[in-house]
Copies of this chain bind each other. A is one copy, B any other.
Amino acid sequence: QISDMAFGIRELSKKLVQIKLKLNVRNIFILGKAHDETLISHSRETTEWLLSKEPHYRVYVEDTLEQNRIFDSEGLLNDNPDFRGRLRFWSKKLCDERPQTFDIVLALGGDGTVLYASWLFQRIVPPVLAFSLGSLGFLTKFDYELYPQTLSRAFGEGITVSLRLRFEATIMRSQSNKKTDNKRDLVEELIGEESEDHHTHVPDGTHNILNEVVLDRGPNPTMSTMELFGDDEHFTTVQADGICVSTPTGSTAYNLAAGGSLCHPDNPVILVTAICAHTLSFRPIILPDTIVLRAGVPYDARTSSWASFDGKERTELRPGDYVTISASRYPFPSVLPLDRKRQDWVDSISRTLQWNSRQRQKSYKEWTA
């Protein structure tokens, strides 16, 4: 009967990673890179189309567009007096404080814009429907050219979202401690007898990230030494240029460059990959997302390491500091293509890595046959 329970859980998990939602759209959030002139025009066009379509729609664009010459909000309102009160402006503060306001986020740009959406919404994230202006990406699954059809259908028939695992990463700063400073040991403090002492470290900022946390040697010419912990266990001491802790979504980004595997986004796992490991025995590791991972700089390290979160917010980690990484309570709901929901991941991979599903790849070894 144990087998049967396991089987049931498997079925349940399968259903939960892709969720169907009927939308009752009132407040639409539009996101585009504010310094890109083409994107501003597209934002304006989409805004106008939406506000014209339904009188109860409210559209939020970035507050920097309020005075933007290209967006020309004044002109838009003058031409369409009924848009007044329905064209609104969002700020980072609004995203932080009232994320529930928004029924859907329309992201315009590339995969970088989707990462920006993840950064804006650090807690609850509205469903994100991402349009690509050029070729489709791993996260931008809709062709902007077809936005009217796409939105009409999504708002009418509903959407399916893929709940993407995010990590919650917290920087923990070592607190100076006069008595013991010259013989402190990170392993002891985290999992040894001293681990009951909660005064050794204090939190210094938490990030919800969609792709990866990277700890590396930053501007140092020498390699880093890092201690890696899983729950209350010391995994290993990593000697490398750095370490990449990636979500399944991030597996096609830096993780791949560092030699990690491609990972389906539905897998509840954490990918740990060393960057230029200086020992031959390190290999990329796949851990369950139920593990709490900690990676830190030993007290006797000669140099600092640097942490970055989704490629941003680079922060120095001095000896004794560490980062806690665990599954976030706030996943990222990415709207799937309306037609090829199930095949979406394979489609992305094939497109981006140039796997030709039907046509045989030309093998560089063919000539030996």
A269 within 8 A of B: yes
CA distance A329 to B366 in the complex (A): 28
Residue in B closest to A313 when the chains form the complex, CB atoms: B221
A155 within 8 A of B: no
Contact bitstring A1-19, B, C-beta under 8 A = 1, else 0: 0111111011111101001
Q: Is the CB of B10 within 8 A of A289?
A: yes
Contacts of A187 in B (CB 8 A): 358
CA distance A251 to B284 in the complex (A): 11
Q: Shortest CB–CB separation between residue A277 and chain B, in angstroms?
A: 6
A219 within 8 A of B: yes
B111, B241, B284, B361: which contacts A368 (Cβ < 8 A)?
A: B111
CA distance A211 to B12 in the complex (A): 25
Within 8 A of B (CB), among A302-329: 306, 308, 310-312, 314, 327, 329
Within 8 A of B (CB), among A270-291: 271, 275-291
Q: Is the CB of A237 within 8 A of B285?
A: no
Chain A to chain B contacts (Cβ below 8 Å), 28 pairs: A2-B333, A3-B163, A3-B329, A6-B331, A10-B290, A13-B290, A14-B288, A110-B366, A111-B367, A115-B368, A138-B367, A140-B367, A221-B308, A221-B312, A222-B368, A223-B369, A231-B342, A234-B358, A237-B360, A241-B257, A241-B275, A251-B286, A253-B367, A258-B276, A262-B283, A282-B355, A286-B286, A352-B364
